[in-house]
Amino acid sequence: MSISKAAESLIAKAKEGKDLNRQEIIQLLYLPGKYSPELFVAADNVRKDQVGDEIFLRGIIEFSNHCQRNCLYCGLRKGNSRISRYRMTEDEILAITEEIKKSSIPTVVLQSGEDSYYTADVICHLIERIRKETNLIITLSIGERSLTDYKSFQQAGADRYLLKHETADKNIYQYMRPGCKWEDRLQCLRWLKELGFETGTGNMVGVPGQTLESLADDLLVMKYLNADMLGIGPFIAHPDTPLAGIDNDDMDITLRVIAAARLITRNTNIPATTALATLHPQGRLLALQAGANVVMPDFTPEIYKNRYDIYPGRKDVGSAQDIINKLEIDFRTIGRFINYSAGYRQTKYH
Ligand code: 5AD
Ligand code: SF4
């Protein structure tokens, strides 16, 4: 199905970087047809122009699957008694950061559930050791903490922080995250940004009750926060959670949100998420051709990896180096290549 003149001129407007209002963003997401080549091509062009053909890698370590929260969608939720819990020690984490360094990836993402076992002091000590022993750039993804904690993480040497807003629909957010407040999430994100962290946010696409209007609001939140990194992934139902059985096989809409995010936020870093790779064998490459420019290989040791069971069927088994070699071959098929530098958000490519 070809698109109308109105849709064509809307895409052209987005491609030029003109501000889009909520109605226009909704229209972008409503484009007819299963795949929307015009939207993806425009996003791919903007990606090339703004951040180049290079793909940046971040090595991720999922160091604890304990979580105090009880999010309805997530396998790590406190109420899931079927999961076998683990915590990595500082030495174990350090050993993996050495591996990341050996594979020439300059940045590590330390991710966990919301686990207060790792107090601010414990996290700061870890950051200091990683900085001293490997000099890796450190991204934290450990949930909501106090302003004081965020400040101390930064003083200890962390540069980046990921905290997805998950959904801009306040009612869905508070339903899916019992005891959590949407405003608190936004407050944390504002603090992180004000402190000068490269800040990542993002959403899940396909959660129950979500509309295209609310996805447009997600994009407006990303823009409003001036987030530097955007993690956009499909919701995948986990059998041991209250949202079990609510299937989401629609990858197209996730790709559209990625494409719209690239058009709207221009020079941000957008990962092709593991969740997309899990939903579809070509999910990662399709995302990289719809605006994404980052991939995050999982360095979590094999003994723990399967237990970081946020959603079922997570791909990427095998050693991280095998995964990177395979990625490199895949990237070449779409004319892209790995860049082993830090990959800060760029003001302009070149
Ligand atoms: N499907 C997709 N993503 C999920 N996450 C948690 N549960 C799911 C799920 N069922 C994502 C959330 C959160 C991160 C820990 O994982 O976006 O930020
Ligand atoms: Fe915990 Fe995050 Fe999962 Fe919620 S989404 S249960 S906070 S790990």
Comparing CA positions, the residue from 260, 306, 241, 257 lying closest to residue 46 is 260
67 Cβ below 6 A of ligand 2 = yes
- Ligand 2 pocket residue status of 292, Cβ below 6 Å: no
Query: Rg (Cα) of the chain, in Å, rounded?
Result: 19
Q: Is the pLDDT of residue 81 over 50?
A: yes
Q: How far is the CA of 143 from the centre of ligand 1 (A)?
A: 12
Q: Is 145 in the pocket of ligand 2 (CB under 6 A)?
A: no
Give the Å distance between the CA of 5 and the centre of ligand 2: 43
Dmax (CA) of the chain: 59
How many whole angstroms from 31 Cα to the centroid of ligand 2?
A: 33
Instruction: Tell me: pLDDT of 93 over 90.
Output: yes
Structure confidence by residue, pLDDT tens digits, 5-42? 888 999 999 999 999 999 999 999 988 665 679 999 99
Place of tokens 């801009």: 168
Residues 6+ apart with CB under 8 A from 22: 213, 216, 217, 220
Residue 314 falls inside a structural domain: yes
Q: pLDDT at position 296, please?
A: 95
Domain membership of residue 183 (yes or no) is yes
Residue whose Cα lies nearest atom 2 of ligand 1: it is 235
**What is the four-CA torsion angle of 107, 73, 214, 271, rounded to 10 degrees?**
20
Q: Report residue 75 as tokens.
A: 């396998």
CA of 19 to the centre of ligand 2 (A): 33
pLDDT for the residue 225: 98
Q: For the whole model, what pTM was predicted?
A: 0.96
CATH number at residue 121: 3.20.20.70
Classify the C-alpha dihedral 140-143-205-27 as positive or negative. Answer: negative
Of ligand 2's atoms, which has the minimum distance to the CA of residue 67? 1
Which band of pLDDT confidence, cut at 50, 70 and 90, is reported for residue 319? confident
What is the pLDDT confidence band of residue 49, given thresholds at 50, 70 and 90? Answer: very high
Q: 57 CA distance to ligand 2 centroid (A)?
A: 24
- Which ligand has the shortest distance to the CA of 115? 2
- State whether the beta carbon of 243 lies less than 6 angstroms from ligand 2: no
Ligand nearest to the CA of residue 114, numbered in listed order: 2
Quote the ligand 2 centre to 302 CA distance (angstroms): 21
Nearest CA to ligand 1 atom 16: 310
**Segment 49-71 mean pLDDT:** 97
Domain residue limits at 297: 20-335
Ligand 1 centre from 204 Cα, in Å?
Answer: 7
SS3 (DSSP) at 229: strand
| 201 three-class SS | strand
Predicted local distance difference test score (pLDDT) of residue 313: 85
- Domain for residue 187, yes or no? yes
Is the pLDDT reported for residue 348 higher than 50?
A: no
> Does 7 map to a domain?
no
Ligand 1: nearest atom to the Cα of 111: 15
Report if residue 346 sits inside a domain.
no
Q: How confident is the model at residue 2 (pLDDT cuts 50, 70, 90)?
A: low
Enter the tokens of residue 27: 């229209």
Question: Which carries the bigger pLDDT value, residue 102 or residue 1?
Answer: 102
Give residue 349's pLDDT: 44
- Residues paired with 60 in a beta bridge: 109, 298
pLDDT band of residue 106 (cuts 50, 70, 90) is very high
| Average pLDDT of every residue of the chain | 94
Q: Tell whether ligand 2 has an atom less than 6 A from the beta carbon of residue 74.
A: yes
Q: Structural domain tally of the chain?
A: 1
Residue 176 lies in a domain: yes
235-290 per-position pLDDT tens digit: 999 999 999 999 887 899 999 999 999 999 999 999 999 899 888 989 999 999 99
